[in-house]
Chains A and B, each alone.
Chain A
Amino acid sequence: MPEVTLIKAVNDALATEMARDPSVCVLGEDVGREGGVFRATEGLFRRFGQERVIDTPLNEVGIVGMAIGMAMNGLRPVAEIEFSDFIYPAFDQIVSEMAKMRYRSAGQFTAAVVVRAPSGGGIKGGHYHSQSPEAYFIHTAGLVVVMPSTPSDAKGLLASAIRGEDPVIFLEPKALYRTVKEEVPQGEHLVPIGKGRIVRPGDDLTLITWGAMVPVAEKAAESATAEGASVEVIDPRTLWPLDIGMIEASVNRTGRAVILHEAPRTCGFGAEVAALIQERCFLHLKSPVGRVTGFDTPFPYALEKSYLPDPERTLRAVRAALEF
């Protein structure tokens, strides 16, 4: 198996699914001739033609709204929002239309659109190229929210999202697009929606994290090992519906949990995960559930490195839980 980057794995998933199913289309700004600003759709325009790889006018309402209509009429559209920071103009189309089509029509119409969006910080992009909006979409009934952290998961989860019957917000950690490389299965490759991954097993504490924070968590776990603590790192991969079974089993065993995410703290997804853990694992808990997160400020440009959680800040939260 060849070693590929996460962005290449996304490209591979799109090409593989488009070759397999002629109803799969890609649409968005600069996705055609340009091949996407991050090159996620490179080569697709030449291979599959302009009818299936659609360069759209600059309008996110139009992109998502059009994708909904395409999905209602038999296509499987994958809409790209150039940065997840630009997704907000399409918020109404996503939360009131795409997410609700099945429910409000009692299953007569569905909008199984995949909306891909590069997400998160770490590229010196300032407020408008760095946000992590997952919590908005997790809060919305009817959406599946996915965020892979490895090339293999990116390919397999995107393929599953495209084949699935539910609308999916597929957030790609852009900081990892070219910084992680691994062997990815060639040809058709599926990773199931709704199943987490134990990144690293451990016995003393469960560290739950996703996206670009997964490598941060791994480094923190390594440092903890040097201090004599065994930390289990879990990447849910599908943020919603969450693989609660995996988290519950782990925390019931370790008795301690810390949640790590780069999105702001208040009403971040970590708050929901913490609530679920205390509801389900209360009698096993040896310490309060900890959170390491971005701050409740706009995403700062110059102070990005201090805003984003790092291994040191994570390790402090791990130590606090272990020493409680």
Chain B
Amino acid sequence: MNRLIVTKTPKVYIGGAFVRSESGRVFPVKDAAGAFFANVPQCTRKDLRNAVEAAAKAGPGWARRTAYNRGQILYRLGEMLESRSSEMAEAIALGAAGRRAALREVVAAVDRLIHYAGWADKYEQVLGSVNPVSSPHFNFTVTEPMGIVGVVAPDAAPLLGLVSLIAPAITSGNTVVALASGTHPYPAVVFGEMLATSDLPGGVVNLLTGFRKELIPTFATHTHLRAITAVADAAERKALRLGGADSVKRVRLVKAEDDTDWFGDAESGLYAIRDLIEFKTTWHPIGA
């Protein structure tokens, strides 16, 4: 007897729940051979708005956790990805990548998460400082998370690129609203399913799938997003800079036309964390 085919309806991970686009729209994702694989949500600016609300709700709790605990949770996320690496590799291999390349990307993504898990309780010691002042005061510079960070992921390396942008943002207590690769969104959907089973609180990372053209203007102008970290082409960079100036947000851009090596060491490290935090300097009288 022929079995009824059970296909999956991918949904996006927003506020710790799996939801469809409020618009009800979807777009088809094809496998490497060009055959239909699944319809994924074509998110709208309203989905982005809802994701920002979810991120705002999760933010204070996430930022209040100890750096050590955030590190543990990132490490746990790495564990989840490691133990399900073959599933993720299959999702990546749907695109142009071969199975071996896909597996290599998953391994690199796991390593990246572990890398930032390690930084979680260390970046403050490196970036913060005790400053010399000529009065009887201590003068400290300490870091604070910015708030909600918008992420626009590259099409190349659909998992590793996404993880490389998200991880440094959440390490310091920011929350993230991310737009997955437009051409290969499925790995982000699977990544959302792994986030849901990790210890990361719902709403800290929110993943949208959809069209860059529709969503980048809203990413640029939404005043609740404190920063944008994006891989963008020239026109998108202009839109993000203009909108970012209007809404006074920090814009961190990687040129899409540069052939960024996401596997390289340059794409991880302290400076990515530093780009998404605020510095606060306080004076405290000595002996008080």
On whether the two chains bind one another, the answer is no
A interface list, Cβ under 8 A from B: none
